[in-house]
């Protein structure tokens, strides 16, 4: 058995890898990459060189290509070795082709990446006006970048290599070392919403450090930092930005704050200026929501972040759950193992399992398993206030706290949290997508087994009589009528005759459990028909077998023959499907969920496919095909448990 | 050897003559003539309900394939005057006949742009039925031939089983959307998308059936006598499976109608210029409570088509089992 299982598992892994190869080929090679711009409002607003660059940066984000910009190349290779003047020169990217020769680094960049099989794109400016009035047309700034298509195997490799990550006490150090903080002198211009996303990812926190004023001296630069917070919910609408004072030793003071809304034209250009007033105090500032034009990136100086003290792991008494918990310092997550009131009640953050990211930068798994609905405010104690009884209404789930890499945490925040573990997920009102689908699915499955099997047995016993014929009529109805049609029939009957609610999005329904009745019935109907069909078939097959004839000739009663002999044997193939139907509930039911507006998992894959969300498609397909293979193997194992005659080892039973 | 004439002198000379032994005639079977398909027909029509089902099927086929010839329908037809009169849009039959003289084609009311729902329904039904028939024919043909070989050849089995499990794990909706992206949207590309992997499931089913039959004694004997694999597949095994195949066709045909409804529902079905049952159900589904007269006719047609095809197919399947021909 062990050897057989091992062989099965090896075969399964092989076929999953093949599935992924085919999927990647279908998604990235067969479908033109232009397809991701369908329905992208930003693309139509871009023009000229900006448009070209925007497309390539999107392709990089969605995993089609590798993109290296000239500025990135110079920054990575020369920021440490060159002094300020030389660095500025190396960064110089001329508007016109004839000037390219002035900066030898351009040719160096081109040669370097051409040798590595990249395609070089060099875009020159175009002008409007003549002579002194000559101006660069909007959107025609010069660009230089190198691009290369990822190969199928590269994508496959990165999918599997990013699957598991382990937390260690040196996580925070490593992160800080890899992304040393940069303090930029001069303006920092954010060109698009996507750059906000990049910043978000880069800093791994809700705070972005941006700066600053070109008039500031180097010392001042270190002292004043513009901090911009982005609320995740509606990325475009709410930016909060603060000007912070940093004393150089770890304390930040908030000077100004403002909320500003980005204009509706879709141009998210954004420049912040911090100015000194006559007394040398920084209290004037202007925030503007527009501005194209040049992007005066200048020298970047590297600083380093606070060092983590007392690295290590310990077991503490967790006040939030009143259970012990394992916490770490220096790890990405604060809580490594903890208990709470959410399924499956014990959680771990030591091994992180990832199936990639969707286009909106969420983890595929968090799409499935995160709570849905509105934010839930609870009276909670912040970590620093634990035990003091001081509560505040907050939606944060402190168990999910991760280390904030942001250079600018307000002192207020640090004092509330007592540490830099300040980035938390939020509690929401409703359960996760998987929980919705699984609950409805499992109820329907139970109904299918508990109603379908007895009915199937009944049909077999009354073969060719009226009961059997009615049953067959029902089975034919389910097979022949499109599921969409009978789901609407059930909805019509349920809501017209019994007044049952049929819309999950309808918040006026007070008895929430009534909402589940129609979806469960809709899902159970085909399940019941399936069980009836197969149980009847197996029972009738058994009825004609020799051992039944023998039992009958020995004078056993019909009842005894059915209950003790036929049922026992007929039910075996049914058992084989049980793991599959339970695990299958996780993947949801598309039509049922759409008809009743259930926020389940059923629509995820189909919507991802229609939106060309390649990351999500890959992650979900991997998950669902793995689950289906696991359930097949489990079914086989279960078969050997209920029927000792079946053995999968090649030698047979001894 | 020449026969010696026997001379008889009893006055009956010339009345009788001797005949030779006819070896050909002696091999003849004197039982009543048995024709397989005639018997299938006889058994099928013995059941009275089959006449009814067949009648409904013929009626639907007539309405779908002949009616549109007399009452042609196309979307945004310039001949449709109702296009200019928004008050005729989305009318129930009662609403429509209140303000208009009776006209048979508006018996079901009007669609969202004043089209006759009755004519639209049958044109849609023609599209969906053609789709179902064409896809079934292609998939069954490929599936049966490859499935028979798959079941018989062990080497082929190893490769095909792997391919089957891999393609089975790829979401069909994805395959469909990628293919329709690559080859465009339309009736024939829809057919191609449905058939490019559709035969695989049928082939797998046939393969399992073939495996059950292939090791019976008569095939073993045939194999030992040196019959090649193709002859065994197509002469020895496939005739045995006619009832299975007919039953399979009965489930395949309605499944394409259902699948078309499903794909239209998720928005990757036929193009918007094609009129199909799926498109009609999908268009009416959001407002099915307000305008039930637009929703139920296509649902009922697809349900009736599916049920009739299924029942007729099942009964032909039963009748095609020679054991019922007694």
More confident residue, A202 or A149: A149
The reported pTM is 0.76
Fold of A433-602: MetI-like fold (1.10.3720)
> Is B288 in contact with A483 (Cβ distance < 8 A)?
no
Q: Is the peptide bond before A212 cis (omega within 30 degrees of 0)?
A: yes
A 321-350 residues with CB < 8 A to B: none
* pLDDT of res. A198: 46
Q: Which residues of A touch B181 (CB under 8 A)?
A: 30-32, 35
Per-residue pLDDT band at A412 (split at 50, 70, 90): low
Q: Tell me the nearest-neighbour CA distance from A594 into chain B, angstroms.
A: 10
The fraction of chain B above a pLDDT of 70, given in percent, is: 95
pLDDT greater at residue A177 or residue A457:
A457
Mean confidence (pLDDT) of chain A: 75
Based on its alpha-carbon atoms, the radius of gyration of chain B, rounded to whole angstroms, reads 29
Residues A377, A395 contacting (CB under 8 angstroms)? yes
Which of B174, B177, B303 is nearest residue A485 as measured by Cβ atoms? B303
Angle at A151 between CA A149 and CA A157, to 5 degrees: 125
| Residue in B254, B266, B285 nearest the CB of A480 | B254
Confidence of residue A295 (pLDDT cuts 50, 70, 90): very low
By Cβ distance, the residue of B170, B288, B302 closest to A23 is B170
* CB neighbours of residue B218 within 10 Å: 12
Chain A residue numbers touching B307 (CB-CB < 8 A): 476-477, 480-481
Instruction: Give the range with max mean pLDDT: A125-134, A226-235, A549-558, B6-15.
Output: A549-558
Q: How confident is the model at residue A654 (pLDDT cuts 50, 70, 90)?
A: very low
- pLDDT mean over A194-202: 42
Across the interface, whether the CB atoms of A19 and B285 are under 8 A apart is answered no
Res A63 pLDDT > 60 = yes
Residue A182 has pLDDT above 60, yes or no: no
Q: Is the Cβ–Cβ distance between A367 and A604 less than 8 Å?
A: yes
A23 touches chain B (CB under 8 A): yes
Which residue, A269, A267, A301, A265, is CA-closest to A287?
Answer: A269
**Nearest residue in B to A602, CA atom:** B266
What pLDDT does B273 receive?
A: 75
> Is a pLDDT exceeding 90 seen at residue A132?
no
For chain A, give the number of residues.
654
pLDDT of A411 reads: 59
Q: Which of A36-45, B122-131, B175-184 has the highest mean pLDDT?
A: B122-131
Q: What is the pLDDT of residue B12?
A: 64
The C-alpha atoms of residue B261 and residue B279 are separated, in whole angstroms, by 7
Interface test with B, best of A481, A489, A596 (most B CBs within 10 A): A481
Q: What is the pLDDT of residue A423?
A: 80
* B226 compared with A177, residue with greater pLDDT: B226
CB A616 within 8 A of CB A610: no
| Residue A272, pLDDT score | 40
What is the rounded distance in angstroms from the CA atom of residue A60 to the CA atom of residue A64?
A: 6
Angstrom distances, CA of residue B171 to CA of A12, A22, A574, B178: 17, 11, 25, 11
How far is Cα B307 from Cα B290, in angstroms, rounded to an integer?
27
Per-residue pLDDT at A602: 87
B257/A484 Cβ within 8 A: no
Q: Do A19 and B306 touch (CB under 8 A)?
A: no
CA distance A478 to chain B (A): 9
Q: Please report residues of B whose CB lies closer than 8 A to that of A473.
A: none
Residue B42: is its pLDDT beyond 80? yes
ipTM score above 0.90: no
Query: Hey, are the CB atoms on A479 and B261 less than 8 Å from each other?
Result: no
The alpha-carbon gap from B310 to the nearest alpha carbon of chain A, in Å, equals: 7
What b-and-e string marks burial along A266-303, b requiring 16 or more CB atoms within 10 Å of the CB?
ebbbbbbebeeeeeeebeebebeeeeeeebebebeeee
Residues of chain A with CATH 1.10.3720.10: 433-602
Q: Does A482 touch chain B (CB under 8 A)?
A: yes
Q: Of the segments A34-48, A190-204, A278-292, A478-492, which one has the largest average pLDDT value?
A: A478-492
* Closest in A15, A484, A609 to B177, CB measured: A609
* Alpha-carbon radius of gyration of chain A: 32
Give the closest-approach CA distance of B29 to chain A in angstroms.
Answer: 34
Residue A299 has pLDDT above 80, yes or no: no
3-state secondary structure A148-202: EECCHHHHHHHHHHCCEEECCCCHHHHHHHHCCCEEECCCCCECCHHHHHHHHHH
Among chain A residues, the shortest Cα distance to B277 is held by A482
Return the pLDDT at A293.
27
Tell me the residues of chain A between 611 and 650 that have a Cβ less than 8 Å away from chain B.
617, 621, 624-625, 628-629
pLDDT of residue A622: 93
| Three-state secondary structure call for residue A342 | coil
Share of chain A above pLDDT 70, in %: 76
Out of B167, B258, B268, closest to residue A482 by CB: B258
Q: What is the CB-side half-sphere exposure of residue A560 using CA atoms within 13 A? A: 6
Q: What does the pLDDT look like over A78-94, one tens digit per residue?
A: 766 776 677 778 878 88
Identify each DSSP E strand in A340-460 by its residue range. 346-348, 351-353, 371-375, 378-380, 392-394, 396-403, 421-426, 428-432
Q: Which of A64-68, A432-436, A449-453, B1-5 is the most confident on average?
A: A449-453
At residue A176, the pLDDT reads 54
pLDDT of residue A449: 95
Residue A75 confidence (pLDDT): 75
**CATH no. of B92-324:** 1.10.3720.10
Question: Of A130 and B174, which is predicted with more confidence?
Answer: B174
The more confidently predicted of residues A218 and B69 is: B69
Alpha-carbon distance A327 to A349, whole Å?
A: 10
Q: Is the pLDDT assigned to residue A409 strictly greater than 60? A: no
The pair of structure tokens assigned to A500 is 């049952």
Give B-chain residues touching A11 at CB under 8 angstroms: 162
pLDDT of the residue at A637: 87
pLDDT at A174: 62
The band of A229, judged by pLDDT with boundaries at 50, 70 and 90, is very low
| pLDDT at residue B2, rounded to an integer | 53
Facing residue for B306 by CB, picked from A481, A590, A621: A481
| Closest chain A residue to the Cα of B301, Cα to Cα | A481
Which ranges of chain B would DSSP assign to H, the alpha helix?
A: 23-26, 36-46, 48-65, 67-70, 93-99, 117-152, 154-169, 172-183, 187-196, 198-214, 217-224, 229-231, 242-266, 277-285, 292-319
Contact (CB, 8 A) for B197 and B175: yes
More confident residue, A627 or B266: A627
- Please tell me the predicted confidence (pLDDT) of residue A199: 42
Which chain B residues are within 8 Å of A30, Cβ to Cβ? Answer: 178, 181-182
Q: How far apart are CA A69 and CA A57, in angstroms?
A: 10
Cβ distance B166 to A617 less than 8 Å, yes or no, reads no
From the list A477, A590, A624, the residue facing B307 with the nearest CB is A477
- A–B: how many Cβ contacts below 8 A? 107
Per-residue pLDDT at A86: 77
CB count within 10 Å of CB B102 equals: 9
Please count the residues of chain B: 326
Cβ burial, residue A495 (10 Å; 0-12/13-18/19+)? middle
Cβ contacts (< 8 Å) between A476 and chain B: which residues?
307, 310-311, 314
Dihedral pair phi/psi, residue A398, rounded to 5°: -65, -15
Question: Per-residue pLDDT averaged across A433-451, rounded?
Answer: 94
Give the confidence band of A398 by pLDDT, cuts at 50, 70, 90. Answer: confident
pLDDT digits (tens, 9 = 90+) for A337-347: 998 887 778 88
How far is Cα A482 from Cα B279, in angstroms, rounded to an integer?
13
**Which of B287 and B126 is assigned the larger pLDDT?**
B126
What local confidence, expressed as pLDDT, does residue A406 receive? 56
**Per-residue confidence (pLDDT) for residue B102, from 0 to 100:** 78
Give the phi and the psi of residue B161 in degrees, each rounded to 5: -65, -40
Mean pLDDT of chain B: 82
Please tell me the distance in Å from B81's CA to the nearest CA on chain A.
32
Q: CA dist B223 to A145, A551, B148, B217, B229, Å?
A: 67, 39, 15, 10, 8
Of B167, B178, B307, the CB nearest to A476: B307
DSSP B237: I
Position A234 pLDDT exceeds 60: no
User: Could you give phi then psi for residue A146, rounded to 5 degrees?
Assistant: -115, 135
Q: Is the pLDDT of residue A326 over 50?
A: yes
Report pLDDT for A300: 32
pLDDT value at residue A248: 42
Query: Pick from A480, A617, A625: which is nearest to B307 by CB?
Result: A480
pLDDT above 70: residue A266? no
């Amino acid at each position: 058995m062990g050897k057989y299982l091992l062989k099965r598992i090896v075969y399964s892994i092989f076929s999953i890898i093949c599935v992924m190869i085919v999927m990647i080929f279908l998604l990235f090679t067969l479908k033109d990459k232009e397809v991701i711009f369908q329905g992208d409002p930003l693309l139509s607003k871009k023009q000229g060189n900006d448009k070209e660059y925007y497309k390539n940066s999107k392709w990089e984000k969605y995993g089609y290509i590798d993109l290296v910009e000239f500025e990135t190349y110079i920054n990575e290779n020369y920021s440490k070795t060159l002094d300020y003047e030389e660095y500025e020169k190396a960064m110089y990217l001329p508007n016109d082709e004839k000037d390219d020769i002035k900066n030898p680094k351009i040719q160096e960049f081109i040669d370097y990446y051409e040798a590595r099989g990249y395609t070089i794109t060099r875009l020159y400016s175009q002008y409007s006006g003549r002579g002194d009035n000559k101006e660069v047309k909007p959107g025609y700034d010069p660009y230089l970048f190198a691009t290369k298509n990822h190969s199928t195997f590269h994508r496959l490799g990165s999918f599997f290599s990013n699957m598991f990550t382990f937390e260690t006490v040196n996580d925070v150090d490593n992160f800080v070392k890899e992304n040393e903080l940069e303090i930029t002198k001069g303006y920092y211009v954010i060109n698009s919403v996507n750059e906000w996303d990049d910043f978000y990812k880069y800093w791994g926190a809700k705070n972005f450090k941006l700066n600053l004023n070109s008039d500031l001296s180097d010392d001042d630069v270190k002292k004043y930092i513009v901090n911009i917070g982005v609320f995740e919910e509606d990325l475009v609408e709410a930016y909060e930005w603060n000007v912070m004072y940093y004393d150089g030793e770890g304390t930040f003071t908030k000077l100004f704050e403002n909320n500003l809304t980005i204009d509706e034209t879709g141009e998210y250009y954004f420049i912040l200026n911090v100015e000194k007033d006559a007394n040398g105090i920084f209290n004037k500032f202007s925030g503007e929501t527009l501005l194209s034009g040049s992007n005066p990136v200048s020298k970047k100086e590297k600083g380093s972040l606070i060092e983590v003290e007392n690295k290590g792991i310990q077991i503490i008494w967790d006040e939030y759950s009143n259970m012990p918990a394992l916490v770490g310092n220096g790890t990405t997550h604060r809580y490594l193992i903890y208990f709470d009131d959410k399924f499956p009640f014990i959680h771990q953050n030591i091994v992180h399992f990832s199936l990639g990211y969707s286009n909106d930068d969420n983890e595929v798994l968090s799409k499935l398993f995160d709570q849905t609905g509105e934010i839930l405010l609870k009276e909670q104690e912040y970590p620093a206030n634990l035990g003091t009884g001081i509560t505040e209404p907050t939606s944060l789930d402190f168990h999910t706290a991760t280390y904030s890499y942001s250079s600018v945490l307000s002192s207020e925040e640090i004092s509330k949290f007592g540490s830099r573990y300040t980035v938390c997920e939020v509690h929401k009102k409703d359960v996760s997508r998987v929980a919705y689908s699984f609950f409805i699915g499992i109820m329907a499955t139970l109904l299918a087994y508990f109603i379908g099997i007895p009915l199937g047995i009944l049909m077999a016993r009354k073969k060719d009589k009226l009961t059997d014929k009615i049953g067959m009529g029902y089975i034919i109805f389910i097979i022949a009528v499109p599921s969409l049609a009978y789901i609407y029939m059930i909805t019509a009957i349920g809501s017209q005759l019994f007044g049952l609610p049929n819309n999950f999005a309808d918040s006026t329904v007070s008895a929430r459990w009534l909402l589940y009745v129609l979806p469960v019935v809709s899902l159970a109907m085909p399940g019941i028909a399936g069980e009836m069909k197969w149980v009847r078939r197996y029972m009738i097959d058994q009825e004609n077998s020799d051992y039944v004839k023998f039992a009958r000739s020995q004078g056993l009663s019909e009842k005894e023959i059915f209950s003790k002999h036929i049922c026992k044997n007929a039910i075996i193939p049914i058992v084989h499907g049980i793991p599959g139907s339970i695990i299958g509930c996780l993947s949801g039911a598309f039509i049922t969920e759409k008809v009743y507006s259930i926020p389940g998992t059923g629509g995820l894959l189909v919507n991802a496919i229609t939106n060309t969300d390649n990351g999500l498609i890959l992650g979900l397909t991997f998950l669902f095909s793995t689950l289906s293979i696991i359930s097949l193997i489990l079914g086989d194992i279960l078969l050997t448990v209920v029927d000792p005659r079946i053995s999968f080892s090649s030698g047979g039973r001894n | 050897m020449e026969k010696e004439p026997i001379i008889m002198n009893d006055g009956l000379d010339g009345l009788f003559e001797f005949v030779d032994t006819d070896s050909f005639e002696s091999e003849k079977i004197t039982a009543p003539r048995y024709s397989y398909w005639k018997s299938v027909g006889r058994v099928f029509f013995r059941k009275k309900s089959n006449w009814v089902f067949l009648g409904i099927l013929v009626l639907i086929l007539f309405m779908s394939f002949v009616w549109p010839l007399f009452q042609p329908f196309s979307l945004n037809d310039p001949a449709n005057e109702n296009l200019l009169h928004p008050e005729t849009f989305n009318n129930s039959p009662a609403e429509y006949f209140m303000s208009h003289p009776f006209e048979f084609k508006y018996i079901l009311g009007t669609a969202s742009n004043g089209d006759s729902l009755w004519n639209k329904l049958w044109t849609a039904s023609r599209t969906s039925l053609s789709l179902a028939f064409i896809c079934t024919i292609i998939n069954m043909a490929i599936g049966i031939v490859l499935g028979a070989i798959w079941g018989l050849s062990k080497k082929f089995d190893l490769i095909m089983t792997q391919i089957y499990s891999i393609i089975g794990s790829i979401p069909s909706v994805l395959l469909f959307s990628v293919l329709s992206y690559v080859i465009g949207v339309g009736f024939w590309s829809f057919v191609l998308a449905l058939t490019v992997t559709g035969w695989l499931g049928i082939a797998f089913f046939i393969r399992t059936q073939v495996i059950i039959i292939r090791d019976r004694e008569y095939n073993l004997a045939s194999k030992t006598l040196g019959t090649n694999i193709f002859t065994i597949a197509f002469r020895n095994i496939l005739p045995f499976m006619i009832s299975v195949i007919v039953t399979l066709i009965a489930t395949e045909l309605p499944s394409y109608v259902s699948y078309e409804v499903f794909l239209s529902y998720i928005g990757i079905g036929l193009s918007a210029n094609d009129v199909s049952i799926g498109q009609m159900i999908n268009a009416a589904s959001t407002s099915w409570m307000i305008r039930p007269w637009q929703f139920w006719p296509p649902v009922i047609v697809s349900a009736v088509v599916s049920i009739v095809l299924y029942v007729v197919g099942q009964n032909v399947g039963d009748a095609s089992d020679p054991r019922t021909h007694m």
